[in-house]
Amino acid sequence: MVLGLMGLLTVALFRTGASGWKKLEAQSTMLADYEVLQAKLSREAQRSTFVSASTETDADGTTLAFLSAVDDSGEFVLDNGTFNPLWQKYLVFYYESSTRNVYLSEVPLAPGSPESTSPEPLEFYDAGSGKLKDYRTGGRLLMTDVDVCNFTLDNTMLITEIEGSRLRYGDSEPEELKMITSVAFRN
């Protein structure tokens, strides 16, 4: 009887420990994904200029776009005469609510484009519809399992709000993550 009780206690402790391990694993995976997204956003925003930044939110998700002076080889390009950035492309971060994913795509500037030295938001770059959602195509996956993603521009700050959830193996209740961060545009 004592042996049976000790066996039940051991199984209960094991299950509690395993459940805690699965919960920690799900939370740490979501946090690592968020840190990758936020590191990319922070690094790129700090190298960009606020006057080129714009956001748009609609039923399909949220979009953030701003200029980057980093060329295809990863070098930050400066004008040799003025030492001002020579803008190379627009970075478009976007959230698709239907897939619960955040992506990054790039829109290269045409050679000789006035935006390379006179930055402006992406909506004014070409003869498109003037909607950021038109640039939500392709791109590299940055984060999955996102329930809410908001990009807000305030003064010279980019505020990012992410809420996500991920089911743990063998559990019916998802683990949740909610993070709000801000970063200043440097230029």
Judged against a pLDDT cut of 90, whether residue 107 lies above it is answered with yes
Q: What pLDDT was estimated at residue 32?
A: 87
> pLDDT tens across 60-104, in order?
999 999 999 999 899 999 988 888 999 999 999 999 999 999 999
Q: What pLDDT was estimated at residue 10?
A: 63
pTM metric for this prediction: 0.83
Give percent of the chain above pLDDT 90. 53
Question: In this structure, which long-range contacts are made by residues 143-146, counting pairs with CB atoms below 8 Å and at least 24 apart in sequence?
Answer: 143/33, 143/34, 143/36, 143/37, 143/101, 143/102, 144/33, 144/100, 144/101, 145/30, 145/33, 145/100, 146/95, 146/100, 146/101, 146/102
pLDDT category, 13, cuts 50, 70, 90?
A: low
Residue 12's H or E segment, with its range, is helix 2-46
Distance CA 142, CA 162 (A): 13
Q: What are residue 4's phi and psi, to 5 degrees?
A: -65, -40
Q: What pLDDT was estimated at residue 109?
A: 93
User: Which is nearest to 152 in space by CA: 179, 124, 178, 182?
Assistant: 182
Work out the burial of residue 49: count CB atoms within 10 Å of its CB; fewer than 13 is exposed, 13-18 middle, 19 or more buried: buried
Q: What is the mean pLDDT of residues 121-146?
A: 86
- Average pLDDT for the chain: 85
- DSSP for 84-149 reads -B---EEEEEEEETTTTEEEEEEEEPPTT-GGGTS---GGGTSSS-S-GGGG-SS-EEEE-SEEEE
Q: What pLDDT was estimated at residue 167?
A: 79
> pLDDT tens across 146-160, in order?
999 999 999 899 999
> pLDDT tens across 25-40, in order?
666 887 888 888 899 9
Contact present, 104 and 93 (Cβ < 8 Å): yes
Distance CA 154, CA 152 (A): 6
Q: What pLDDT was estimated at residue 103?
A: 96
10-19, 24-33, 55-64: the lowest-pLDDT one = 10-19
Contact present, 120 and 140 (Cβ < 8 Å): no
